[in-house]
Amino acid sequence: MGQSLTQKILASHLVSGNLKLGNEIALRIDQTLTQDATGTMAYLQFEAMNLSRVQTECSVSYIDHNTLQTGFENADDHAFLQSAAARFGAYFSRPGNGICHQVHLERFARPGRTLLGSDSHTPTAGGMGMLAIGAGGLDVAVAMGGGPFYLPSPKVLRVWLTGQLSEWVSAKDIILEVLRNLTVKGGVGKIIEYAGPGVKTLTVPERSTITNMGAELGASSSIFPSDEQTLRFLEAQGRAEDWVPLSADEDADYDEELKIDLSLLVPMIAQPHSPDNVVPVSDLAETPVQQVAIGSCTNSSYQDLMRVSQILKGKHVHPSVSLVISPGSRQVLTMLSGNGALTDLLDSGARLLESTCGPCIGMGQSPMSKAVSVRTFNRNFKGRSGTQDASVFLASPEVAAACALTGYITDPRTLDASSQVEYPQQFRIDDSMILPPGDPDTPIRRGPNIQPLPIAPELDNILDLPIILKLGDNITTDDIMPAGSKILPLRSNIPAISEYTFHKIDPQFATRAKELKQSIIIAGHNYGQGSSREHAALAPMYLGLRVVLAQSFARIHRANLINFGILPLTFVNEEDLARLSQGMILHLTDLHKAIRTDAPFAITTDNGTSPILVRHDLTDRQAKILLAGGLLNSTKAAH
Ligand code: MIC
Ligand code: SF4
C-alpha cells in the first residue's frame, strides 16, 4: 500500500510514536513562526525554559496583528520581540512587512518541510506542499528550542478535485464548498490532502487560500502536492532551489474522501456568524451592503488584489459602501504601486490600510451598527469585527469587489468586467524588512507592557468546583478571550487581559471567577474552536478555572488547556450536559489517580442526582504535564 503525501512528511519527521490512527506522535519541526499577538508569550516562555538559541532551520517572528499603536503597549511589544529575535536567533519581520502567513509563503515556506506556528492559520504554507500546523505559543517555544511537537496521529481526508474553475469562481469558493460539506467541526483530528487532476489548475496563492481556511474546518492541517505550479511560484520568488517534487503514491489509502468538480462551482458566500454557513451568492442578491473589506491572510495575494483592481478600474465604489483594502505584504503592495494598480484602486474610492491583519481581528474599521460587511477573510464569528450587531459575510475578492461597486451582495458573473490577470514572471523581492538573527548578547528590551508569566498552580487531588458558566456548541476562542483594538494590546500582560475573559458573554465573569477562587466550565461540542491564542487558556487559569467539561474540544485549545494546567474532560454520556446548570457544585475526588488511569471516572453533584461519568483521554505525557501544573512547570521539573 502506498503512502499519502501527509504520511510521507509525517514519516520523515517522526521522532517517536507510530502512525496508527489516534496514537500520539512526536514530530521534528523544521521551521517556526510566531506573530506579535502570540509571540510575546512564546518568547517569554522560551526565556522561562532557559533556552538560549533557536535550534530550527529557521524561526521567524512577525509583527502583523498589533500595529495600531494607540498607546505605548504595541510598540513595547515590538521592541521586546525585535530584541528577543536578535538574541535568540530568529528572523524578525518588521511591522509593515506583511501578514505572517503571506510573507512566510513568499519568502520561507519549503515543500516537504514541517512548520509550527503560533497562529491557527499556519497551514497557509500547505499550499506550498509544506506540513504546516498551528499551535499554542508554548508548543512553538518548545519547537524553537529543538523539542518535538506532539499530536494525535491524524486521519487523512482526501479532497479529490476534477475539472477547472469557471471565470469569476475562485479558490475561496472551493474552500467555502468544503466548509459547506464538512462544517466547522468536520476537520477535527484530520489533515486535509488535496489531489486529483484539478490540482494542477490552481496556483500556489490559490492553493494557500484553501489551506489557510482549512483552519475553519478544525483540521490539523491542509496540504497540496508540490508540482510544476510550486516550482513556478518559487522561481518567481527567486527560490527555485527550495523546490522538491512531492505527491501521494497512486495507490495511497485515505480515511475519508470528498469529491469536488471545480467546473460545477459557483460564487459562494458564508453568512453570519459561522464560516460554514455557506450558500451561493445569488441566493442573497439584493441584500444591501455597507462595508467591504478586502485582505487578510486568506485573500490578499498579488493576484487577488490585481483581480480586484481590474474589476474596479475606471469605476467608483458605491456611495453607501466603505471599501477598505489591506494588502497581504509589502511585496504585494509595492508590486501594485509599481504597475499602477494601486492608483486604480485608490481612484475607485478604496481606502488603503497597512499590510497587516487589520479589520480581520477587529483592529480598526469596525462596521457601523447593524451593518452588512462583506469580507474576504476567514472568520465571521459574532462581534469579531468589533461591532456586536454587524452581519459579517465571507466571500472571494471577486464577490467583494462586485459588492463594493453595486452596494448589494452581487454575483460577480453579472458584472461587465474581466477578472483575468497575468501571473507574474517575477515577484518583487526585497527582504530589507526581514532582519536576520542577531547577536546572542543582545539585551532584551522590556517595557512596562511586558509582564512576567503567571505560572499555573498544581492541580489539587480533591476539588469542589462551582460551575461558573454553562455554554453551548462551537464556543470560539474569540468568545473566551476577545481580541480587537482595546484588548489585543494587553496580550503580554495577563493580569490586565484576564479582566476581559468571556467579557461579551458575561461581563461579570472575571469578578465572579475571582470571588469563587476556583471553578469549572461546562460546554457542548467543539469548545475552543478558532484561534491558537493561549490567552484563552492562560487568562481563565489566572482567574482560577481548573477544569473544562465539554462534549468535545477543538485541537489547539485542548492542547493549550493542558499546557496551562487546566484539565479538559469530556462526558461519557453526552446527554449529561443537560443535567448540569450554572451555579451547581461539582465534586472531583481522587483526581490524581483518575488522571493516571485511562478509565472513565465519576463526578458527583451537590443536588443529589446520580454521578456524571467523565473521561480525560490524556496521554501519559499529558497526564504528567497536568499533574505538574502545566508544561512550564513540568519542563522546569525535568531540568
Ligand atoms: C485570529 O485570526 O484569530 C488570530 C488573531 O490570528 C489568532 C491568533 C491570536 O489570537 O493571536 C489565530 O488565528 O490563531
Ligand atoms: Fe491575521 Fe486575520 Fe489571518 Fe488571524 S486570520 S492571522 S487575524 S489576517
Q: pLDDT value at position 637?
A: 63
Domains 5-264 and 269-413 are alike in CATH topology: yes
Residue 251 Cα to ligand 2 midpoint, Å, equals 37
Model pLDDT, residue 479: 97
Alpha carbon distance 412, 281 (integer Å): 9
**First-to-final CA distance of the chain:** 43
* Cα–Cα distance for residue pair 268/413, rounded to 1 Å: 12
For 589, half-sphere exposure in the C-beta direction (CA atoms, 13 angstrom radius) is 6
Pocket test for ligand 1, best of 533, 538, 556, 557 (most atoms within 8 A of CB): 533
- Ligand closest to CA 488: 1
Cα dist. 219→28, 135, 196, 313, 478 in Å? 20, 12, 20, 38, 18
Separation CA 523–CA 149 (nearest Å): 27
Distance 14 CA to ligand 2 centre (A): 29
Classify domain 463-638 at the CATH class level: alpha beta
Closest CA to 600 of 572, 622, 620, 568: 572
Q: Which one-letter DSSP state was computed for residue 285?
A: T
Is the beta carbon of 483 within 6 A of some atom in ligand 1?
A: yes
Q: What is the pLDDT of residues 42-83, one digit of tens each?
A: 999 999 999 999 999 999 999 999 999 999 999 999 999 999
CB 330 near ligand 1, within 6 Å: no
The reported pLDDT for the residue numbered 609 is 81
In this model, does residue 105 exceed pLDDT 90? yes
pLDDT at position 158: 98
The Cα–Cα gap between 498 and 476 comes to 16
What are the pLDDT digits (tens) for 356-400? 999 999 999 999 999 999 999 999 999 999 999 999 999 999 999
| Separation between Cα atoms, residue 508 and residue 500, nearest integer Å | 9
What is the Cα–Cα distance from 390 to 370, expressed in whole angstroms?
4
Q: Is the pLDDT of residue 455 over 90?
A: no
Q: What is the pTM of this model?
A: 0.98
Angle at 466 between CA 460 and CA 468, to 5 degrees: 115
Distance CA 531, CA 609 (A): 36
CB under 8 Å to 231, separation ≥6 — which residues? 240, 243
pLDDT of residue 247: 98
CATH class of domain segment(s) 5-264 = alpha beta
| 405-452 per-position pLDDT tens digit | 999 999 999 998 888 899 999 999 999 999 999 999 999 999 998 998
- Report residue 638's pLDDT band, with 50, 70 and 90 as the boundaries: low
C-beta separation of 161 from 253 below 8 A: no
Taking the centre of ligand 1 as the mean of its atom positions, its distance from the CA of residue 575, in whole angstroms, is: 32
Partnered with residue 34 across adjacent β-strands are: 61
Q: How far is the CA of 532 from the centre of ligand 1 (A)?
A: 6
Give the pLDDT of residue 371: 98
The per-residue pLDDT of the chain, averaged, comes to 97
| Nearest atom of ligand 1 to the alpha carbon of 119 | 14
8 A C-beta contact, residue 187 and residue 554: no
**Residue 357 CB less than 6 A away from ligand 2:** yes
Say yes or no to pLDDT of 456 above 90.
no
Closest atom of ligand 1 to 478 CA is 3
**pLDDT digits 0-9 by tens, 187-200:** 999 999 999 999 99
Nearest to 415 by CA among 513, 279, 335, 318: 318
What are the cell numbers at 195? Answer: 489531489
The rounded distance, in Å, linking the Cα atoms of 491 and 496 is: 9
Give the mean model confidence (pLDDT) for residues 627-633.
92
Q: Distance (Å, rounded) from C-alpha 253 to C-alpha 634?
A: 38
> Of ligand 1's atoms, which has the minimum distance to the CA of residue 65?
5
Cα of 304 vs centre of ligand 2, distance in Å, is: 16
pLDDT of amino acid 417: 87
Q: pLDDT tens digits for 571-603? A: 999 999 999 999 999 999 999 999 999 999 999
- Residue 88, all three cell numbers: 535568540
pLDDT in tens, 110-164: 999 999 999 999 999 999 999 999 999 999 999 999 999 999 999 999 999 999 9
Does the Cβ of 119 fall within 6 Å of ligand 1? yes
Q: Whole-angstrom Cα distance, residue 400 to residue 404?
A: 6
Predicted confidence at residue 331, as pLDDT, reads 98
**Ligand with smallest separation from the Cα of 384:** 1
Q: Give the total residue count for the chain.
A: 639
Q: Give the single-character DSSP code of 471.
A: -
Q: What is the fold, at CATH topology level, of the domain defined by 269-413?
A: Aconitase; domain 3 (3.30.499)
Ligand nearest to the CA of 101: 2
* Nearest atom, ligand 2, residue 119 CA: 6
Distance 356 CA to ligand 2 centre (A): 8
Give the C-alpha distances (Å, rounded to integers) separating 135 from 87, 213, 219, 554. Answer: 23, 15, 12, 11
User: Which amino acid is it at 311?
Assistant: I
pLDDT (0 to 100) of residue 419: 86
Q: Residue with the nearest Cα to atom 3 of ligand 2?
A: 297
Name the DSSP class of 25: E
Res 639: pLDDT: 54
Domains of the chain, by residue range, sit at 5-264, 269-413, 463-638
Residue 633's pLDDT is what?
A: 86
pLDDT in tens, 338-350: 999 999 999 999 9
Three cell numbers at 125? 504554507
What is the distance between the alpha carbons of residues 184 and 275, in angstroms, rounded to a whole number? 7
d(CA 309, CA 342): 7
Relative to the CA of 379, which ligand 2 atom is closest?
Answer: 5
> Which residue's alpha carbon is at the smallest distance from atom 11 of ligand 1?
37
Whether 324 contacts 291, CB under 8 Å: yes
| Ligand 1 in reach of 38 Cβ (< 6 A) | yes
